[in-house]
Chains A and B, each alone.
Chain A
Amino acid sequence: MGLGMRLWLENSKPKIDPFDPENPLVVANGPISGTMWPTGGNGHTFVSKSPQSFGLGEAKAHGTFGTELKRAGYDAVIFRGKAEKPVYVWIDDDSVQLLDASGLMGKSPGDTEDAIREELGDYYIRVAAIGVAGEKLSRMACIINDRTRAAGRTGLGAVMGSKNLKAIAVRGTHDVTVAKLDEFMEYVKEFHERMKGPATQKYRTLGTPENVLVHNSLSCMPTRNFNNSRFEGAEKVSGECLNEKYLAKIIGCSSCAMRCEHTCVVPEGPYKGTMTRMEYETLWALGPYCGVDRLDAIIKGMELTDYYGMDSISAGVTIGFAMDCYERGILSQKELDGLDAKFGNAEAMVQLVEKIGKREGVGDLLADGAKFAADRIGKDSYKLAATIKGVETTGYDLRCLKTAALGFAVSFRGADHNRHGAYAFDVKGKVNRLIAEKGRGKLVRDMEDVYNLIDSFIVCKFSRGTYYKELPDMAKLYTLVTGFVTTPEELKKAGERIENLAKIINLREGLSRKDDTLPYKVMHDPIPDEGPSKGAFVTQEELDLLLDDYYESRGWTKEGVPTLEKLKELGMDDLIHIIYQ
C-alpha cells in the first residue's frame, strides 16, 4: 500500500480531478506476495485519487489476483490515460495488451471473469473487474476479483471506469521464492499452527457477523441511519442466525491457512438460490442500518452489490440515508420511484440497491453516495449523511466509541475502521469508551502504524492476532522473505512514514484539519436508546481535544501538518517541498 501511494504521488499532478485521464490508478501487491505465507501471498491494493473524498483513495482485496500479478513479474502497475473504446488489459507475463471489451460491457465482475477466461482460453487466468456501477462512474463503485472479493472503499471502480478500463486480466508463470527459504518454511509451519488456535477462532466460526450481537449489547450498532444505536431485530440478523440458516461453506483465499469467507445461500422464499459472501459490515449496512431484519433480503442486497460492483457498505449507508430522508419528508415517495422506502422495508432496500447499481431513477441521485446525494437534495439533508471525507461510515456508533471516533476522523481515506482498528480499545473495555481524554491520540497513532504495515506487507487483517509479538514477528517475516535484516523499530518507522506520506498527499489535494471530522449526527444527536450508551455523542470540544492530542503524538502542527523536524527524522526530505514552499 505504501508503495502504491508513493507511485501515485510521483505520477500525478496536484488537485487533479479523480476522473481526469491523467489521474493514475495504481495496483500493487506486497513483498510477501506469491509466497505460501498464510494469508500473505494473496492480497493486492488499488490506489488513486478518490472520487468520494478528493483525497487519497485506497482499497485492498484478497483472493488469487495479487499472487498471480506477482508471478507475472510485477510489484505494481500504473494505469494512466483513457481508452477511446472500452478495453481490458491482458497481462500475460511480460506481454501486455489492451483488448476490446465492448462485448463485456454491462456484465458483472464475475461474469466478466468467466468471459475473459473463455475468450483467452485459460481457466486459471485471474481477473479484477468493474461492474455496471463502475462503468457508469458511480462514486461508490468498487473493483472485484474472484467473484466476491472487493477492493471496496473510496470509489476506485469509478476511476477505472473513467479510463474505459473494464478489467485487468493476469497470468503469471514465474517462480516466486524467498531469501531464507528453510527458516521461512519453519515460520510458515508455526503460523499454520497459530492459525488453528484462538487468535483466528472468530473468523473460522461465526465470522465477523458475530459483531451484530456484541455491538448491539453495547448499544454501539448504528441503526436506522443513526436514529438508534441498537436494533430490536438484532437476533434475527445475528451471526448465529446467519450461520444456522444460511451458511453453506467457509472457503479460503490462496495460501490461507485460516479460511473466513462465509458463503451463504438463501434456501427458500423470494430470494431462493441467492449465493454470496457475508461479513459484518455489509450485513450491518444493508440490515440494521436500514432497519431491515430479514437476512434473506440482506443476502440478496449483498449479491446485487457484487453483481453491479459497488461498495456494499456505502450502498447500505446511502440507502439508510434515503430512508431517513423519506421518513422526514425530505424525499417523497414519488421521488423514490414510488417506493415506500420506510425503515425496515426489505423489498425497498433490495430495489434501491438494484436502482443504484444501474443508476436508474432515484438510483442516479444515490449512486454517488450519501454526501453527493445530500448536496443535490439540499434541505439540510447533509445532516443525515453519515460520511467522513465523503466516504460512508461503517458499523460502529462513534457517539459512544470515542477512541474509534478519533480513528475514523483522522483516517486518511475517510470513514473507516480498517485504518486503525481503534474500536477494539472501546469495545473490549480497555478504555472508558464514553469519554474523550488525552492519550487516545497515541493509541490511534500506534495502531495506524501497525495497520499500515499489515496493509503494505500485504497480510490479511483477520490474521493480525496470530502475530503474537506484533512488530517483532512482522520484522522476522520481512527479514526472512526479503533478506534485508529489519528490526521492529525500523518497521514501526516505515509504518509511520506511510501515515505521513498519506497526510502529505491529502494536504497536497487540499484536505485539512476541518476534514478530520465526524458525521453531523454523531456530533449533534445523542444516543436515545436506554442502556449503557444513552445520551452519548461527540462534542466539538471533545473532537478538538482528541485531534490536538493525536496531532501532537504524531509530531504534527495544530493544523495537522507534519513538521519539518518530523519529516527529516523520518528521512522524507524529498517530499518536504510538497507542503512547504
Chain B
Amino acid sequence: MSGRAWVYGDDLDTDLLAPGKYMKFGIEEIAKHCLEMVDPAFAPGVRPGDVVVGGRNFGMGSSREQAPAALKALGVAAVIAQSFAGLFYRNCFNVGLLALTCPQAGRIRAGDAIRFDAAAGSIANLTTGETLACDPIAPHLMTLVREGGLLAHLELRLAQERS
C-alpha cells in the first residue's frame, strides 16, 4: 500500500493545520479547513493513506492537538519532516498519528508515491525508486501508534489494573 505525498515547507504551524476560527467546533469541521490558507486543494483532495511532508520544525506553535488530529481525521497515514516541533511531535503519537523524522525529506516531491516502514525506519519513494532513512522512534511511542494513541493505551492500562 502506498500514498501520495503532499509537500509543504519549513515551519508549517499548528494554526494552519487547525485554524483558530474553527477551534470551537469538532474535529470533522476543523479538518475541512486544514491547511486551507496554504493549499485549498489539500482537505478536499487528500485520500486515506496519503502522507504529508514538511521541512524543518513541522507543527510549530500551539498545543492544540487538533492539528495532528485533523490530519488523522482526513486519513493521513504519516507526517514526514526534516524535524518536528517537540509539542506537535508528542501530540502526533498521542492522537495515534505517525511522525517520521527524515533528514532527507526534502527529496520528496508533491505527488510522489510513498511507502514507509516505521519499525524499520525507512521510506520508499516508489516514484523515484529512492529509499530514505528515518530517525528511530522511541519504543513507547511506537506502542502508542500500534495501540491507536494515548487514550486507547490508557484504556488498556486501566483494564489491566482493574482485572
Chains A and B are bound partners = no
Interface residues of B (CB under 8 A from A): none
